[in-house]
Amino acid sequence: MPPEFAVRVGQALDNERLRRNLRRTMDGLVAKRRQAFPDIHELAVLRRRGKLIRAQALANLPDLLLELEANCERNGIRVHWAETVAEGNAIVLDLLRRQGARRVIKGKSMVSEEMGLNHHLEAQGIQAVETDLGEFILQLAGERPSHIIAPAIHKDRREIAALFAAHFPEYPYTEDIEGLTAIARRIMREHFGQAIAGLSGVNFAIAETGTLCLVENEGNGRLCTTAPDLHIAVCGIEKVIARLDQLPPLLTLLTRSATGQPITTYVNLISGPRRAGERDGPREVHLILLDNGRSRMHRDRQLRATLRCIRCGACMNHCPVYTRLGGHAYGTVYPGPIGSVLEPQLQGLERQGELAEASSLCGACGEVCPVRIPLPGLLRRLRAEGAGEGEDAGVPGRGSRRKAPQRLIWTLWRLTHAHPALYRLATHLATRLRWLVPTGLGPWARTRAAPVIAPRSLHELARAEGFAHE
Amino acid sequence: MPHSPRVYFFGTCLIDLIFPQAGLAAMRLLRREGLEVIYPQGQTCCGQPAYNSGYEAAARDVARRQLDTFPEDYPILVPSASCAGMLKVQYPKLFAGTPDEERARRLAGRVHELTDYLARVLDWRHPDLGPPLKVALHHSCSARREMGVAGAAAELLARLANLEVVEPDHAQECCGFGGTFAVKQPEISAAMAADKAAAILATGARVLVGQDCGCLLNLGGTLAHRHPQAGVGQSWQGADPGARGVAPAARGAANHDGSGRVTRQPAPLAQGPVVKHIAELLWERTHAP
Amino acid sequence: MSSPAREAILQRLRRGVATGPRPAPENPVRRFDWSPPERLRRFTAALTAVRGEVIPVGDDWPATLFSRLSAKGATNLRFAPATALGAELAAAWPDRGAITLIPHDQPIEACRAELFSATDASLTGCLGGIAETGTLVLWPSIQEPRLLSLVPPIHAVVLEADRIRSTFHEFLVAEDWAGRGLPTNALLISGPSKSADIEQTLAYGVHGPKELLVLVRVKGDTADPPPALA
């Protein structure tokens, strides 16, 4: 992993177009969020409420999942449980095969990305068609999303125009955004009109009423979950909330944190398949609850906070590292700060531990998280797990980041800094031999003038000036 | 006769070795306010570098030594929001569930970042003796978010009448230091530092001032690297109280004579700004020798 | 239905719950004391800001709708004949020659092609509105199915002004959605369909309706509080 990440980082930093796109877009999203929360006090109250709703749900997760299952089944929604991504994919495949579907239209779903669902289905001869405009564009490009809310954020209109011209030569070339949108709408219409199977994610699953809540701006989510005869919803087990009346505060936090909108164009509450007498809607609705490591993350008191996430994307919008790299450099399904906390836990520290270290711990993410996930603290905890220190949270790959050079450095550091006499000796030598100390070596000095060690330390100057030492 | 109120000074390892003049200025500022400033010679480092790297056992050993070194019930003043944050916010977590937990909590309760203490507790006010000067103010992420003391620095500078204080574009964004981050992810760190340096240059300020020497080391080094000042190795690090007799021209735009006092009009800006810790700036501009 | 995956997941979660913290209870939700005219004003401002059209109407609303649709070049209007609103529309439609009225009374299987490619506009009612966010609340029904408000490029809605509440939370709680039981599909609609996926620039009518017309019917004195709802 390390050489690959470093390579991707270099590529991203050298990509001027990408950096310009990202800077402009992140600045815009940051400004929009600020405008959407003009009252600091209200924001603080809302974030506290959001955290409590999510924390309560996680504290009661097994019971809530059972309640969700019972109410969904009572409503006619079939509930399936999948421990692994492979199990989840198998369930989807089986449902589609039984329907005789050769194609499934998809609303945007990060969980389906996590499952690698499209790839799995295509290998089995079933075409997965992305209908969200951003995902649709990426599917044409053969790329994965680079942001969890705005998947094609790294692309500009010229790149998209070229893609459309290549894939849909029957339409005249255009870089006009309205024109490109109209082309996508025409092409999607056919799919919506004919599809017999649709797949969606779930923003919130409400245990009290057995309801799936989906939010969107385009309308493709509603179309995917209404027009076909079969609707499959995939959902992480952490997405459940207890009561319907907890939805409004979470919704307003989600939409305002993500894009600065007071609400999305559509909020869709689905509580079952087509009932007797109803004239449209799917005949079957299935909910797949995916674990994929979440129940393991749930066990640790501190790391459980990771599961509070409502997938708003605010953390990555405010992250100086994400702003310079974009999502692809991370090489994971979930990028940015939440990705740097989630992916090492999902995939293990030996594969993704470096992500937890690729942060200056500036705290911008934690400051904006609508459900107050202490992201910098979790990053630090994962670094400790990587070094094999602190309480064992059961994260796969614990201790795998503890390498000999690091151990040596911190052993020497501890030696000098835990023993004042040794420390004073070391600093004395450093100041007297300062012109010999190689501060100009190493990655630091590639882009910075080397620091100069002072001729006398503060310890010395303080004594010389007569400051008492006790 | 009652003795002066006593405060501890936790200098930080970075200031000890690279920016001692900042620590000295801070201690002089406090002494002038009538405090007896105690500098325990046994202090070393708050432990943050190891702690942030996940090497908690090593961090705890070093941190425990600081608990031993600052035993009395005096306020502990720290010329760094980052180190103050470690002592105040992280020590209780680092020692949770250990025999030193109570000691750590008590110490954490006594910690103050320097500018916050100057502004809020001491109500520091002194006439500005220096010439008109434009300074760019940089807030560390720790000052802004962990310690909430960004406002204190701005407040203190606002009390110096001849200063024009500006903030660079994207002021809220991290400068890329992050301690070991700069060494572990040098390219990302350098990109962040480059953007911040460009924003600082664009302000036209002659001096870059901040509460945290880590950021200043990062930005000063980045600025100097882009604008090498031939023959002047240390001017971007500001005045060097230990070096006497170095020609004033070699000291950079602020023209110190070694005593810490500004002596003449600043030279035209031919290179990047000089970086200073806010303690140095406050002392220079209000101290008449 | 039990399965190995289900049991394994629940077992792991139960271990976690035994050791987890007990979060504190929540604080109360924000309320607003807006008068009915204030609610209408806020509703209009919020929806207009996202390119919804809000048109005050009286009982002659079918004529108003007709002229708006004519101006937009619509040649037909799909509607639910078996509702009170549908009856009002049919009774007062000015010119069926200019804009045909299409009763939407078939299962989707029988009218899919027409709905998707030969319908210019649709009309539905709604349960009410939400002032804070400029939102329409719809509970599609047997008479007004889900796709009616979604597929045609122009969606017109008649909203009774005294059915505008301040917040979504108020709607849920005052009308006891959880207790009553939710329909197959409950919807909040807050504007025409849009996307900012290309260069963060807004484009409208991506998949859902490109235009949303809200005909707000004000009955009598708007200073009266809304009547208690069943």
Report the complex ipTM: 0.94
Instruction: With cut-offs at 50, 70 and 90, classify the pLDDT of residue A354.
Output: very high
In this complex, the residue of B24, B50, B174 whose CB is nearest that of residue A360 is B174
The per-residue pLDDT for C19 is: 63
Q: Classify residue C227: in a domain, yes or no.
A: no
Q: Classify residue A413: in a domain, yes or no.
A: yes
| pLDDT tens digits, one per residue of C114-127 | 999 999 999 999 99
Q: Is the domain of A101 the same as that of A193?
A: yes
* H-only helix segments in C123-229: 168-174, 177-180
- Mean pLDDT by 10-residue block, N- to C-terminus, for chain B (289 residues)? 85 96 98 97 98 98 98 97 98 97 98 98 97 97 97 98 97 95 95 96 95 96 75 44 32 37 39 89 93
Count of CB atoms situated within 10 Å of the CB of C181: 11
Q: Is the domain of B113 the same as that of B131?
A: no
Q: Does A409 touch chain C (CB under 8 A)?
A: no
Touching subunits of C (3+ CB pairs, under 8 Å) are: A
> CA-CA distances (angstroms) from residue A112 to A108, A192, A410, B163?
8, 20, 42, 57
Helix (H) or strand (E) run with residue B14 in it? helix B13-17
Distance from CA of A184 to the nearest CA of B (A): 36
> Which chain A residue has the Cα nearest residue B66?
A418
Distance from CA of B51 to the nearest CA of A (A): 8
The CATH number linked to C209 is: 3.40.50.10420
The per-residue pLDDT for B246 is: 30
Q: Is the domain of A261 the same as that of A352?
A: no
Q: Classify residue C101: in a domain, yes or no.
A: yes
User: Once rounded to an integer, what is the mean pLDDT over residues A51-68?
Assistant: 96
Given B65, B86, B119, which residue is the final one in a domain? Answer: B119
Q: What is the residue range of C97's domain?
A: 33-217
Residues 6+ apart with CB under 8 A from C167: A248, C29, C30, C31, C32, C130, C131, C132
- Cross-strand partners of C216: C56, C159
Residues 6+ apart with CB under 8 A from A274: A280, A281, A282, A283, C184
Chain B partners within 8 Å of A419 (Cβ)? 65
Q: Is the domain of A174 the same as that of A237?
A: yes
- Residue labelled with tokens 């070596």: A441
Cα–chain-centroid distance for residue C123? Answer: 11
Q: Does B187 touch chain A (CB under 8 A)?
A: yes
Q: Is the domain of A142 the same as that of A221?
A: yes
The CATH number linked to A115 is: 3.40.50.10420
Q: Does A417 touch chain B (CB under 8 A)?
A: yes
A177: phi then psi, degrees, rounded to nearest 5: -65, -40
Is residue C18's pLDDT more than 80?
Answer: no
Q: Classify residue A365: in a domain, yes or no.
A: yes
CB spacing of B242 vs A10 below 8 angstroms = no
Q: Is the domain of A418 the same as that of A338?
A: no
Q: Is the domain of B98 the same as that of B225?
A: no
Q: Classify residue C21: in a domain, yes or no.
A: no
In this complex, the residue of A413, A447, A456 whose CB is nearest that of residue B225 is A447
* H-only helix segments in B145-277: 150-158, 181-184, 186-203, 213-226
Q: Is the domain of A383 the same as that of A408?
A: no
Chain A stretch 395-414, residues whose beta carbon is closer than 8 A to a beta carbon of chain B: 401, 406, 410-411, 413-414
A81 three-state secondary structure: strand
Q: Is the domain of B227 the same as that of B266?
A: yes
Chain A stretch 306-365, residues whose beta carbon is closer than 8 A to a beta carbon of chain B: 320-321, 323-325, 357-364
In this complex, the residue of A49, A259, A304 whose CB is nearest that of residue C20 is A304
Given A399, A419, A451, which residue is the final one in a domain? Answer: A399
Distance from CA of C152 to the nearest CA of A (A): 11
Task: Take residue B157 and report the two structure tokens written for it.
Answer: 């500078």
Cβ atoms of A228 and A195 within 8 Å: the answer is yes
Cβ atoms of A399 and A387 within 8 Å: the answer is yes
Q: Is the domain of B48 the same as that of B180?
A: no
User: Once rounded to an integer, what is the mean pLDDT over residues A245-258?
Assistant: 97
Torsion sign, CA atoms B70, B71, B72, B74: positive
> Which chain A residue has the Cα nearest residue B194?
A447
Q: Is the domain of A121 the same as that of A209?
A: yes
Given B64, B94, B119, which residue is the final one in a domain? Answer: B119
User: Once rounded to an integer, what is the mean pLDDT over residues C39-66?
Assistant: 97
Q: Classify residue C223: in a domain, yes or no.
A: no
The per-residue pLDDT for A441 is: 78
Residues 6+ apart with CB under 8 A from A84: A291, A292
Count of CB atoms situated within 10 Å of the CB of B179: 18
Q: Is the domain of A287 the same as that of A330?
A: no
Q: Does B39 touch chain A (CB under 8 A)?
A: yes
Q: Does B45 touch chain A (CB under 8 A)?
A: yes
Q: Classify residue B161: in a domain, yes or no.
A: yes
Q: Is the domain of A276 the same as that of A148?
A: yes
CB spacing of A62 vs C184 below 8 angstroms = no
Residue among C3, C119, C185 with most chain A CBs within 10 A, to mutate? C185
The per-residue pLDDT for B227 is: 67
Q: Classify residue B1: in a domain, yes or no.
A: no
Q: Classify residue A298: in a domain, yes or no.
A: no
Nearest to B142 by CA among B174, B181, B180: B174
Count of CB atoms situated within 10 Å of the CB of A442: 11
> Which chain A residue has the Cα nearest residue B169?
A27
Q: Comparing A63-77, A220-234, A319-333, B267-281, which segment has the lowest mean pLDDT?
A: B267-281
The CATH number linked to B241 is: 3.40.50
The per-residue pLDDT for A437 is: 84
Nearest to B65 by CA among B96, B42, B48: B42
Cβ atoms of B219 and A448 within 8 Å: the answer is no
Q: Classify residue C20: in a domain, yes or no.
A: no
Chain A partners within 8 Å of B39 (Cβ)? 458-459, 462-463, 467-469
CA distance A108 to A137: 12
DSSP state of A349: H
Instruction: With cut-offs at 50, 70 and 90, classify the pLDDT of residue C227.
Output: very low
CA distance A187 to A254: 30
CA distance B162 to B131: 6
Instruction: With cut-offs at 50, 70 and 90, classify the pLDDT of residue A1.
Output: very low
Q: Classify residue A281: in a domain, yes or no.
A: yes
Q: Is the domain of A436 the same as that of A381?
A: no
Q: Classify residue B171: in a domain, yes or no.
A: yes
Is residue A201's pLDDT more than 80?
Answer: yes
CA distance C105 to C80: 7
Chain B partners within 8 Å of A9 (Cβ)? 185, 187-188
Q: Is the domain of B82 the same as that of B131?
A: no
Q: Classify residue A74: in a domain, yes or no.
A: yes
Chain A stretch 175-194, residues whose beta carbon is closer than 8 A to a beta carbon of chain C: 177-178, 180-182, 184-185, 188-189, 192-193
Is residue C57's pLDDT more than 90?
Answer: yes
Given A399, A421, A441, which residue is the final one in a domain? Answer: A399
User: Once rounded to an integer, what is the mean pLDDT over residues A137-152?
Assistant: 91
Given B119, B143, B161, which residue is the final one in a domain? Answer: B119
- Residue labelled with tokens 């470096």: A354
Chain B stretch 17-36, residues whose beta carbon is closer than 8 A to a beta carbon of chain A: 17-21, 23-24, 27-28, 31, 36
Distance from CA of A449 to the nearest CA of B (A): 5
Chain A stretch 285-304, residues whose beta carbon is closer than 8 A to a beta carbon of chain C: 289, 291, 295-296, 298-301, 304
Burial (CB < 10 A; 0-12, 13-18, 19+), residue A15, is middle
| pLDDT tens digits, one per residue of C173-182 | 999 999 999 9
Domain count for chain C, please give it.
1
Q: What is the residue range of B165's domain?
A: 127-286
Full DSSP string of A430-447 = HHHTGGGS-TT-TGGGGS
Helices (H) and strands (E) in chain B, counts: 14, 8
CB spacing of B24 vs A462 below 8 angstroms = yes
Residues 6+ apart with CB under 8 A from B164: B132, B133, B134, B135
Q: Does B7 touch chain A (CB under 8 A)?
A: no
Q: Do chains B and C touch (3 or more CB pairs under 8 A)?
A: no
Angle between helices A336-347 and A349-357 (to 10 degrees): 160
What whole-number percentage of chain A has pLDDT above 90? 90
For the entire predicted model, the pTM comes to 0.93
The per-residue pLDDT for A217 is: 96
CB spacing of C13 vs A45 below 8 angstroms = no
Helix (H) or strand (E) run with residue A129 in it? strand A127-130
Q: Does B164 touch chain A (CB under 8 A)?
A: no
Q: Does A193 touch chain B (CB under 8 A)?
A: no
Q: Comparing A383-397, B37-51, B271-285, C42-56, which segment has the lowest mean pLDDT?
A: B271-285
Given A343, A378, A399, which residue is the final one in a domain? Answer: A399
Nearest to A77 by CA among C209, C182, C144, B60: C182
CB spacing of B186 vs A447 below 8 angstroms = yes
Domain count for chain B, please give it.
2
Count of CB atoms situated within 10 Å of the CB of B251: 22
Q: Does A281 touch chain C (CB under 8 A)?
A: yes
Q: Is the domain of B136 the same as that of B277?
A: yes
Q: Classify residue C119: in a domain, yes or no.
A: yes
Q: Does A440 touch chain B (CB under 8 A)?
A: no
Q: Classify residue C14: in a domain, yes or no.
A: no
The distance in angstroms from the start CA to the end CA of chain C is: 37
Q: Do chains A and B touch (3 or more CB pairs under 8 A)?
A: yes
Task: Take residue A202 and report the two structure tokens written for it.
Answer: 């779930």
| pLDDT tens digits, one per residue of A80-134 | 999 999 999 999 999 999 999 999 999 999 999 999 999 999 999 999 999 999 9
Cβ atoms of B140 and B153 within 8 Å: the answer is no
Cα–chain-centroid distance for residue A73? Answer: 30
Task: Take residue A249 and report the two structure tokens written for it.
Answer: 């505060």
Q: Does A7 touch chain B (CB under 8 A)?
A: no
Chain B stretch 72-131, residues whose beta carbon is closer than 8 A to a beta carbon of chain A: none
User: Once rounded to an integer, what is the mean pLDDT over residues C76-91?
Assistant: 97
Domain count for chain A, please give it.
3
Residues 6+ apart with CB under 8 A from A152: A133, A134, A135, A137, A138, A145, A146, A160, C197, C198
Q: What is the residue range of A433's domain?
A: 404-464
Q: Classify residue C117: in a domain, yes or no.
A: yes
Residue among A154, A158, A265 with most chain C CBs within 10 A, to mutate? A265
Give the alpha-carbon dihedral of A461, A465, A469, B1, to 10 degrees. -160
